[in-house]
Structure 1
Amino acid sequence: MSKIGTCLWFVRDAEDAVRLYVSLVPGSSLGQILRAPGPWPGGEPGDVIMLTFTLGGQSFQALNGGMPADYGTAASISVSCADQAEVDRLWEALTSQGGSEIMCGWLRDRWGVPWQIVPEMLPRLLADPDPAVAARVFTAMQGMVKLDVSALERAAAGTE
């Protein structure tokens, strides 16, 4: 684990969330599972209270806090995807069972954690030296919920 990481708050199902997350993102793993040595406001002795894990090499913790927390939208987990197949796979897994779509590649999983599922080609297209290309791609992206690689490429080429 690195010196700095992100801690995600869950009511009681941090372990379920972490196991899903590490199954979806290559280069991910479950670390320690810490259990309560005694009763605590969120549960009983032996309950999972914290887990450590990595997603794509980035350090995280997951805490069972015993009560709901609102993540807001000021921070999210952003995943750079190689292609549309990876975008689609992650999008489906994270929005299923109660997750929700937001816009422009953003979603919330069933625990309310915000994610950005972004094709790796998007930042390159948005940084195109031709401002018209970047503008067309940006406009196309703004009309999307789940990002569509082919549509973004057509926008960049000016054929959309």
Structure 2
Amino acid sequence: MPIHPRITPCLWFDDQAEAAVDFYIGIFPNSRITAISRYGEAGRAIHGRPPGSIMTLAFELDGQLFTALNGGPAFRFNEAISLQVDCHDQDEVDHYWNALGAGGPVEAQQCGWLKDRFGLSWQIVPRAMMAMMQAQDGEKSQRAFQAMLGMKKLDIAALQRAFDGD
């Protein structure tokens, strides 16, 4: 029997869950839709969705399980929660930043954070930056942090120069 994680994030969309999931699985490797459930007549007076329309999609993004729900316009995403993407190098930072940010609001881009076209917030974080922030030398960490504050998409080389005091 497959092992299922205890916690699976559920992303609430108005009616664009399928478009969002297709967008996300097109960006991340090892990603797929694993199950789809549909609305029926039960509860139609509450949910107002046509029978047969998609209610939820279970999906994986690079092995991480999620659920996407077409739940109606009652709730919207905000910056109180974001998904953090761990990047090995600048090529990965560039890939995820450009792909996830395509069609999203440019004004929401700062310090490695962006919003996608569906309003979901993402943090595109290079591992090198995390190592700099956790370094024992607080002065170096603060220089890198100050450099990060002036960036939209994070630039590993510029962060390293700041960290090194160059």
Using structure 2 for the length normalisation, give the TM-score. 0.88
- Runs of 4+ in structure 1 deviating by more than 3 angstroms, as ranges, are 98-101
For the pair 1:38 / 2:41, whether they are aligned, the reply is yes
Write the deviation string for residues 48-80 of structure 1: whole angstroms up to 9, x where unpaired.
110111223222110001215222211111000
- 1:55 aligned to 2:61? yes
Indicate which of 46, 67, 73 corresponds to 1:67: 73
CA–CA distance in structure 1, aligned partners of residues 37 and 22 of structure 2 = 15
TM-superposed CA distance for 1:105, in Å, is: 0.6
Question: How many residue pairs were aligned?
Answer: 159
Structure 1 length as normaliser, TM-score? 0.91
Structure 1 partner of 2:153: 146
Distance (Å, rounded) in 1 between the aligned partners of 2:74 and 2:113? 21
Structure 2 residue 142 is matched with structure 1 residue 135:
yes
Hey, what's the Cα distance between the residues in 2 that align with 1:16 and 1:42?
20
Bigger drift between 7-16 and 89-98 goes to: 89-98
Give me the whole-angstrom Cα distance separating, in 1, the residues matched to 2:57 and 2:115.
Answer: 21
Q: CA deviation at 1:28?
A: 2.7
Cα shift at 1:42: 4.4
Asked if the contact 2:104–2:119 (Cα under 8 Å) also holds between the matched residues in 1, the reply is no
Indicate if the aligned counterparts of 1:10 and 1:68 stay in contact, CA closer than 8 A.
no
Unaligned runs of at least 5 residues, structure 1: none
Q: 2:7 aligns with which of 4, 13, 22?
A: 4
- Equivalent of 2:30, from 17, 27, 30? 27
Residue aligning to 1:18 = 21
Q: How is 1:107-146 mapped onto 2 (pairs within 5 angstroms)?
A: 107-146=114-153
In 2, Cα distance between equivalents of 1:49 and 1:2: 21
Contact 2:17–2:57 (8 Å) recurs in 1:
yes
Distance 1:31 1:127, change over 3 A: same
Q: Within the alignment, does 1:103 sit opposite 2:106 as a pair?
A: no
Identity percentage of aligned residues:
43
